Amino acid sequence: MQQQTSCNALQHQTEVAPLRSYAVTDTVLLAAQPQPEDWQRFAEAGYKTVLNIRSDPERAAVQAANARAAGLRYIHAPWPAYELEPEHLAEFARIVEDPETGKLVFHCRSATRVGLIWMLYRIVHQGWTREQTEAELRAAGYDEDAMETFEFCAGDFFDRAGDQI
């Protein structure tokens, strides 16, 4: 193996990928990292709230200003990617079920983590079977790589949190 360049130098490249999104319902859009031009598009499409679960507070502060300038509500909830807990799901349930939320854009970096949380929300808070929620995510456009990630990470969640839910 040969060292090529620092990871920091490449990090910004992940921030400018085209928006990838999955409309799981008429009112919930699961999305990858939005770009500045996306906020106005969300507002024009009737979305009212943006929920960002990425960890970086500086990025979130910039996004919040841009989203609010477009007329959107903005919520930053930096839930850990490495260890999702039942309280994070409960917080998500409160947000998504709050009438004030309206149509929701729910985003992380690649749209995979939000898909996982949506899957767990359907199962834990709405009583769906895993097969039902997998079908919903596939219908929204998630591929088999994403489904494999959901399966592994959902298994990890239930292994750790099984007796709390």
Partner 1 sequence: MPHFDQTLDVKGAKCPMPLVKSRKAISELPVGQVLQVISTDRGSVADFQGWVKTAKNVELIAQETVQENGQELYVHYLRRTA
> In whole angstroms, how close is the CB of 99 to partner 1 at the nearest point?
30
Question: In the complex with partner 1, which residue's Cβ is closer, 47 or 121?
Answer: 121
C-alpha distances (whole Å) from 63 to each of 32, 49, 51, 109 are 13, 12, 11, 13
Strand 28-31 versus strand 21-23 pairing type: antiparallel
Site of interaction with partner 1 (CB under 8 A): 1-8, 10-11, 13-14, 54-56, 78, 80-83, 108-110, 112-113, 116, 145-146, 149, 152-153, 156
> In whole angstroms, how close is the CB of 9 to partner 1 at the nearest point?
8
Question: In the complex with partner 1, which residue's Cβ is closer, 91 or 156?
Answer: 156
C-alpha distances (whole Å) from 36 to each of 33, 58, 99, 105 are 10, 15, 26, 14
> In whole angstroms, how close is the CB of 4 to partner 1 at the nearest point?
5
| Cα–Cα dist 17/34, whole Å | 9
Question: In the complex with partner 1, which residue's Cβ is closer, 46 or 155?
Answer: 155
> In whole angstroms, how close is the CB of 95 to partner 1 at the nearest point?
20
> Which of 51, 18, 23, 22 has its CA nearest to residue 35?
18
Question: In the complex with partner 1, which residue's Cβ is closer, 51 or 153?
Answer: 153
| Cα–Cα dist 8/6, whole Å | 5
> In whole angstroms, how close is the CB of 122 to partner 1 at the nearest point?
18
| Cα–Cα dist 152/132, whole Å | 17
Question: In the complex with partner 1, which residue's Cβ is closer, 7 or 127?
Answer: 7
